[in-house]
Chain A
Amino acid sequence: MAKLPVQFRLNGSDRAGFVDPAGNLLDLLRRGLGDFAPKYGCGQGTCGVCTVLIDGEPQLSCLTLAISCEGRQIETASGMADGPNLHPLQQAFMDNFAAQCGFCTPGMLTAARALLAKNPNPTRDEVVEAISGNICRCTGYEPIIAAILAAAAGGAGMRRA
């Protein structure tokens, strides 16, 4: 089947690729564009490790057709740090020991980033709700919740979400 061209902004840069009509965004990001922050976990939208922002909304890139992203703004965890300066959420994840194996971390960061952009001072319950689509096997979630609340208290949502 003929490949189709698709073009979008990825972490602030114009990127393009050729994709199968049924190809998903995760595949394009990882194999086509070399952005390995979004992970391939279940491939069916139940684990959250492939979470990216599309026009600011958290979406599962494994369930998103790549061609549907034409002209849109895609943001992944790769674009969070500003050179050597970590995003406040990344710093809070470090400070609160919110990563162990790290496989869920890009998805968790992205889900948290979407939350804080909309709601800079979330309650604990709102944080729990925001990451409830993301599975973590190592941390028991508590350090992740603590990190997101700490980043929110530090103004992460308002400064650069």
Chain B
Amino acid sequence: MARHEGRGMASVNYPIGMNLGGDPSQALIHSNPDGKFTVALSAIDLGQGMKQVSRQIAAETLGVPIEDVYVDTADSDTGPHDMGSFASRGTHRMGNAVIAAAREARGVLLDAAAEELEVNASDLVTDGRGNIHVRGAPSKTITVKATAQAAQFKQGKTIAGRGIFLIPLSAVDAETGEMNPNTAFAHACLVADVSVDDETGEVTVLRMTSAYELGRVINPRMVEQQLVGGAWMGISHALYETPEPYYPNPEHGPRDFNEYLMPGPGDIAPYHVTVLERPAPDGPFGGKGPGEMCANPVLPAIANAVYNAVGVRVDELPITPEKILRGIRANGGVKPGPRRGGAVNWR
């Protein structure tokens, strides 16, 4: 009885968002009398970082400090319409809507400042620190706060902007079958090293190494956070989780966290990620976003690594010890594949 090591690889081209009937997101931005801005979105931040990314995008486009932007999400009664947070569309779709709304609000902001400074709005620039001044003449200046107050108390203007980003429905061409369901693709390649125990059928993920191409990385730490957390989910889907282990018989299904298995903090593997940035032409500042693809390549990479280790091709998830032991028996024993590549020495 022995443990066998194996290496598997998987690559993915991952579509950002989907387009089943058109895919719109809207954003509304307005300034308050204190010169701070509220961004209203109906999409929800489940912890993936959409609020932070929207805040960065709004502040950058408005030309104001990031601490002066508040993002209000997830009230579909009062917020503008949004398809939702799914299909990895958050950064790309909401980000573009926020840019459109922030551009319009910035236009009104500069018009109001121009009226106060008695100059042409096209000569005005923002310094990103809460000031608006005439290009080349920094002494001719007004704060965003004073501008917001002048607009609201004197000029009778709302400093506000509306934004929508819409990928229109792309129908299938009857002649060619061609369609354009998506505008941005992200890419990844992941290598998993595993060890398979031929006595117990247990798989241990030894380490994973990946490269992700996600367009412009708008918040590097949050991208890393998504990739690391998502890879854990990938391991969990590959080796542990299922609501119906003996489908279609539901009686053996797990009913609670004692029975619904997931890797714990002692089961995680060292994971090394390299992020590549190829800005997307239609992305907000070139961003695409990580989303679900953080988990996706982990599953086939682990399945391939198991095959490489013991010669068992498991094509139903999760890859349980039982399936591996049945596979080894059906093959008449362990059939390790060729060892691939050298040792990984990044850790």
Spell out A's residues near B (CB within 8 Å).
42, 44, 46-47, 97, 99-102, 127-129, 131-132, 135-145
A154 vs B237: C-alpha distance when bound (angstroms) = 36
B231 CB within 8 Å of chain A = yes
List 27 interface pairs A-B (beta carbons < 8 Å), by A numbering: A42-B256, A42-B257, A44-B256, A47-B257, A97-B224, A100-B46, A100-B48, A100-B49, A101-B46, A101-B47, A127-B265, A131-B265, A135-B264, A136-B265, A138-B47, A140-B231, A140-B232, A140-B233, A140-B271, A141-B232, A141-B265, A141-B268, A142-B268, A142-B271, A143-B225, A143-B229, A145-B265
B341 CB within 8 Å of chain A = no
Which B residues are CB-close (under 8 A) to A137?
A: 233
Q: Given A97-B221, A100-B48, A138-B229, are A144 and B265 neighbors across the interface (CB < 8 Å)? A: yes
Name the residue in B47, B48, B268 with the highest tally of chain A Cβ atoms < 10 Å from its Cβ. Answer: B47
Spell out B's residues near A (CB within 8 Å).
46-49, 221-222, 224-225, 228-233, 256-258, 262, 264-266, 268, 271
A101 shortest CB reach to chain B, Å: 3
A100 vs B268: C-alpha distance when bound (angstroms) = 18
Instruction: Tell me if B256 and A99 are in contact (CB < 8 A).
Output: no
Interchain residue pairs A-B with the least CB separation, the first 10? A140-B232, A100-B47, A101-B47, A46-B257, A141-B265, A140-B229, A97-B225, A128-B265, A139-B229, A128-B266
Which B residues are CB-close (under 8 A) to A102?
A: 47
Total number of A-B contacts with CB less than 8 angstroms?
Answer: 61
A153 vs B258: C-alpha distance when bound (angstroms) = 33
**Additional A-B contact list (17), CB under 8 Å, known A132-B264, A139-B228:** A46-B256, A46-B257, A97-B221, A97-B222, A100-B47, A100-B49, A100-B229, A101-B46, A101-B47, A102-B47, A129-B266, A131-B265, A138-B47, A138-B229, A140-B229, A140-B231, A141-B265
A74 shortest CB reach to chain B, Å: 24
Which B residues are CB-close (under 8 A) to A136?
A: 265
A145 vs B228: C-alpha distance when bound (angstroms) = 13
A132 vs B267: C-alpha distance when bound (angstroms) = 10
Which A residues are CB-close (under 8 A) to B222?
A: 97
Which A residues are CB-close (under 8 A) to B225?
A: 97, 100, 139, 143
Which B residues are CB-close (under 8 A) to A44?
A: 256
Name the residue in A100, A101, A129, A135 with the highest tally of chain B Cβ atoms < 10 Å from its Cβ. Answer: A100
A89 shortest CB reach to chain B, Å: 16
Closest to B232 in A: A140
Q: Which of B228, B230, B258, B265 contacts A46 (CB 8 A)?
A: B258
Which B residues are CB-close (under 8 A) to A99?
A: 47
Which A residues are CB-close (under 8 A) to B266?
A: 128-129, 132
Which B residues are CB-close (under 8 A) to A128?
A: 265-266
A47 vs B49: C-alpha distance when bound (angstroms) = 24
